[in-house]
Structure 1
Amino acid sequence: MTEAINTTAVDQPRLEKLLGEVGRDAAGAVALPLALVGDRLGLFSALAAGGSVTSAELAERTGLAERYLREWLLAMAAAGYVTYTEGGSGPEAKRTARYRLSPEQAEVFTNADSPAYVAGLFQAFTAGARVVDRLTEVFRTGEGIGWHEHHQDQFEGTERAFRPVYVANLTSSWIPSLTGVEERLQRGTRVADVGCGFGASTIIMAEAYPNSTFVGIDSHAPSIAQARERAAAAGVADRITFRNAGAADLEGSYDFIAFFDSLHDMPDPVSALRAARAALAPEGRVMLVEPMSWDTVEETISSPMGRVMAGASLFVCLPSGLAGSPAYGLGNQAGPARIVSLAKEAGFNDARIATSNEQNAVYELLP
């Protein structure tokens, strides 16, 4: 039996457009890991220290090999991550070229508290690509890849990528969008942060609401160890208890329970929500912070964010959601209708999107 051959004529302009898109993707594919190298070596910070530099001057400033720095600066300037300012001509042009960071580049690559900070994405996305061999195999078997099976850069990069977003939005817009939650937190109440990771969201809330107490739980023991260290460094360890536990093992009673970018990674999100419903005090609220997603293919592929998120889902979120029973496999593009349906299946009377931005949708679940 021979395979049918598509004899439809190729549209040359469409072909060229597709090749252009592949070329842009290829440029990004090499730029991100090289930017991660720069982040690890402190090159963006060294450039942000002031003034334009040659590769030799950057080598003197950092103690690194000039020849590698020369090529790195050229690659980063071609990507638009570093600004080329001036240079000579002829054979020595690249050796004498000068580079700097613009204020915008410094904000994006060096300011860890800025919502525009992206260095964590370099780390997380590069770590995601490390599982490509395993991912190829699970396409054949239908199995999952547990969160704990990823490279350490995935855990660190995720925290670095999400923390600036939480700093910018959590206490200024997300919590105020919920019914009565901010007032309770200000007065003093009990809060659970389910799937807390390194504890960035828990610590931000503890700093903002000193009258409340917090419990953070996560199934990844090394992340919980990091969370404890970071809470101590932030001076809020007296108000936070971190536990190594699964989402369905939530214990106690809470007026406010939050899931930050974690529900869609869980193999059994309904059990996690049922546990939250059982632990919720009367008139309490659950907040789900989820990646922005859409209910239709058309909406997803028409959004630049949809393109990024759907790809990221295949490397991390979907395999994690298939790594246990009953393996819901939500992925990060479950869509609002599916999220609301799961909340009601878990026993919540209602669920709504309280607020949203380009990156996240914030759901309020009502008992």
Structure 2
Amino acid sequence: MDPDKVHEFMNQVVADMAATDAAGSVVIGERLGLYRSLADGAATPAEFAARTGCHERYLTEWLRGQAAGGYVSYDPPSGRFSLTAEQAFCLADPDGPNVPAAFLTAMGTLRAEPKITEAFRTGAGVGWHEHHEDVFVGCDAFYRPGYVADLVPTWIPALDGVEQKLLAGARVADIGCGLGSSTRLMAAAYPMSTFVGFDYHTESITLARKRTADAGLASQVSFEIATAQEFTGDGYDLIAMFDCLHDMGDPLGAAHRVREALAPDGTWLLVEPYASDVVEENFNPAGRLFYSASTFLCLPNSLSQPGGYTLGAQAGESAVREIATDAGFTRFRQAAQTGFNAVYEIRP
């Protein structure tokens, strides 16, 4: 045993423990509006307490911990804490990367640890609907900025002829829509088209309907409770799935239903986490994040459903292509890619 390698490994453990414990502080910062308040200007703990109405001693500890992690900046001569423009964009802007939403999702996910531990023993599934509400709300808030940045500006234009159809007026289904952020973004960009979002999770659909009404899009967008294998309608010009196929116990059944519901010249827009087909090439920070989340969310959800598939969040292109081919699709290509997602164009 090499003592230096032990020391190196323990340094990694300390960093991981610090990040894990800091997750709660990030969520507190979001719930209390601390990041948004600090984005308004530098402050000492006392000044920050007066500004936020929170307890000074708690804020002092919170600010120091945030500064130690590089999430907040500190000026020793003045004793003031602040956010740089970049920190504020990531932590306080809901249209930025929305880092707090990621930690909210993680905190909500970890609440299921006793269920997941037992599932390791039994092989049973744990459905999406069995998780804490923070998972649903956090996922929507975290994924939405990526959709804002890429869905309308990049992904749809990368599909052959799809944007022209949407501008002229098309019928669109958003499968596994969750709280409907992706559905509303497309609807707002293409007012001549009509959209229907489907999700099996009742609470998500309830929130999707409310947010859509609040956005003034209810006449253009509707939502229904349905699985990906049983959603209604046919003749869709575009069917979209965002980060959900790998969560399904029967992705092949979903692909068959998409094939049936598409118009003859329709398009299936499928967005999945980016992963290499070579397992060890996913042994990196992003892969670690996806595998960890998949252990708690994606894999247990697929095991809770009939179908026999357990793709996981790092399934890779080959597995996705095989499902599309087995469902009868003849055209498959990767149309775009981000640091976290692969965007596939699939046609009959």
Q: Same fold (TM over 0.5)?
A: yes
> Counterpart in 1 of 2:140?
159
Structure 1 residues 69-88: aligned runs within 5 Å? 69-86=59-76
Structure 1 residue 20: deviation in Å?
A: 1.5
Q: Distance in 2 between matches of 1:105 and 1:44?
A: 9
After TM superposition, where is structure 1 displaced by more than 6 Å over at least 4 residues in a row?
Answer: none
Q: Distance in 1 between matches of 2:241 and 2:12?
A: 36
Is 1:176–2:157 an aligned residue pair? Answer: yes
Structure 1 residue 359: deviation in Å?
A: 0.9
Compute the TM-score of the two structures, normalised by the length of structure 1.
0.92
> Counterpart in 1 of 2:27?
36
> Counterpart in 2 of 1:332?
313
Q: Deviations over 1:128-152 (max 9, x none)?
A: 1111111111001111110000100
**Partner secondary structure for residue 196 of structure 2:** strand
> Counterpart in 1 of 2:50?
60
Compute the TM-score of the two structures, normalised by the length of structure 2.
0.97
Is 1:270–2:252 an aligned residue pair? Answer: yes
Unmatched 5+ stretches in structure 1 = 1-9, 89-96
Q: Distance in 1 between matches of 2:25 and 2:298?
A: 24
Residue type of the alignment partner of 2:231: L
> Counterpart in 2 of 1:4?
none
Structure 1 residues 258-337: aligned runs within 5 Å? 258-301=240-283, 303-337=284-318
Q: Distance in 2 between matches of 1:31 and 1:286?
A: 40
**Partner secondary structure for residue 156 of structure 2:** helix
Structure 1 residue 87: deviation in Å?
A: 5.0
Structure 1 residue 319: deviation in Å?
A: 0.8
Q: Distance in 1 between matches of 2:189 and 2:202?
A: 26
Q: Deviations over 1:197-228 (max 9, x none)?
A: 00000000000001100010000111111111
Check conservation: 1:119, 1:160, Cα contact below 8 A. Answer: no
> Counterpart in 1 of 2:198?
217
Unmatched 5+ stretches in structure 2 = none
**Partner secondary structure for residue 344 of structure 1:** helix
Structure 1 residue 15: deviation in Å?
A: 1.7
Check conservation: 1:196, 1:260, Cα contact below 8 A. Answer: yes
Larger radius of gyration: 1
> Counterpart in 2 of 1:6?
none
Structure 1 residue 304: deviation in Å?
A: 2.3
Q: Distance in 1 between matches of 2:305 and 2:288?
A: 26
Q: Deviations over 1:15-72 (max 9, x none)?
A: 222111111111110112211111101100111112x211121111111111111111
**Partner secondary structure for residue 126 of structure 1:** helix
> Counterpart in 2 of 1:18?
9
1:356 paired residue among 334, 337, 342: 337
Structure 1 residue 86: deviation in Å?
A: 2.1
Residue type of the alignment partner of 1:231: T
2:38 paired residue among 27, 36, 47: 47
Identical-pair percentage: 47
Residue type of the alignment partner of 2:63: L
**Partner secondary structure for residue 290 of structure 1:** strand
Q: Distance in 2 between matches of 1:269 and 1:140?
A: 25
Q: Distance in 1 between matches of 2:307 and 2:165?
A: 35
Residue type of the alignment partner of 1:71: E
